[in-house]
A and B are shown apart, each in its own frame.
Chain A
Amino acid sequence: DADVTQTPRNRITKTGKRIMLECSQTKGHDRMYWYRQDPGLGLQLIYYSFDVKDINKGEISDGYSVSRQAQAKFSLSLESAIPNQTALYFCATSGSANTGELFFGEGSRLTVL
Chain B
Amino acid sequence: DAKTTQPTSMDCAEGRAANLPCNHSTISGNEYVYWYRQIHSQGPQYIIHGLKNNETNEMASLIITEDRKSSTLILPHATLRDTAVYYCIVVKYSGAGSYQLTFGKGTKLSVIP
Contacts and interface: CB of A to CB of B under 8 A. Distances in A.
Contacts, number: 60
11 contacts: A42-B87, A42-B102, A42-B106, A44-B103, A50-B98, A90-B44, A98-B97, A99-B93, A100-B49, A102-B44, A103-B46
A43 B49 contact: no
A1 interface: no
B85 to A, nearest CB: 9
Q: How large is the interface on B (under 10, 10 to 19, 20 to 34, 35 or more residues)?
A: 20 to 34
A97 B97 CA distance: 5
Nearest to A50: B98
B41 A42 contact: no
Contacts of A50: 98
Interface string A62-103: 000000000000000000000000001010100011111111
